[in-house]
């Protein structure tokens, strides 16, 4: 068998390369603190954009950057009501016109409105 064969090892499980002669990228250490009182440091590249929020490595809660700006507030869209959506489709004058048409139909008796039995009993009594 060849003398260079790697017998008895799992290929890919262990690296046989060394870090000798390799220059690592310049780094900076940033400190975070969570609301549970845990403080920890995370190394980043000098060129990296530092996130304001990081997951706490002790408890998993949200940790904030120490001596940094708070996280940016997300822009919240106001809830659209039924009235808002209606006003997108029609003007106020159109709505008043539709209302007058419907009221005219009701007043003329052209629309049969079901009467609740309890209300009918009150009228007859």
**82 assigned ligand-binding residue:** no
The answer to whether the annotation marks 125 as part of a ligand binding site is no
CA angle 76, 82, 86 (to 5 degrees): 110
Asked if residues 83 and 51 have their Cβ atoms less than 8 Å apart, the reply is no
CB distance 55 to 63 below 8 Å: yes
Q: Which two tokens stand for residue 37?
A: 């009182």
Using alpha carbons, select from 54, 59, 56 the residue that is nearest to residue 44.
Answer: 54
Is 34 labelled a binding residue? yes
Antiparallel, parallel or unpaired: β 53-55 and 62-65? antiparallel
Q: Is 38 annotated as ligand-binding?
A: yes
Residue positions in the annotated binding site? 34, 38, 56, 59
Residue positions in the annotated binding site for Zn(2+)? 34, 38, 56, 59
């Amino acid at each position: 068998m060849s003398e260079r064969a790697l017998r008895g090892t799992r290929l890919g499980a262990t690296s046989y390369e060394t870090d000798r002669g390799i220059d690592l990228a310049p780094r900076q250490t940033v400190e975070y603190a969570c609301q549970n009182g845990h403080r920890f440091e995370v190394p980043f590249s000098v060129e990296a954009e530092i996130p304001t929020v990081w997951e706490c490595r002790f408890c998993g809660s949200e940790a904030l950057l120490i001596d940094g700006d708070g996280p940016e507030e997300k822009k919240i869209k106001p809830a659209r009501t039924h009235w808002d959506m209606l006003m997108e489709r029609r003007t106020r004058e159109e709505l008043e016109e539709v209302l007058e048409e419907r009221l005219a139909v009701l007043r003329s008796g052209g629309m049969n409105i079901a009467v609740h039995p309890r209300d009918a009993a009150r009228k007859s009594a």
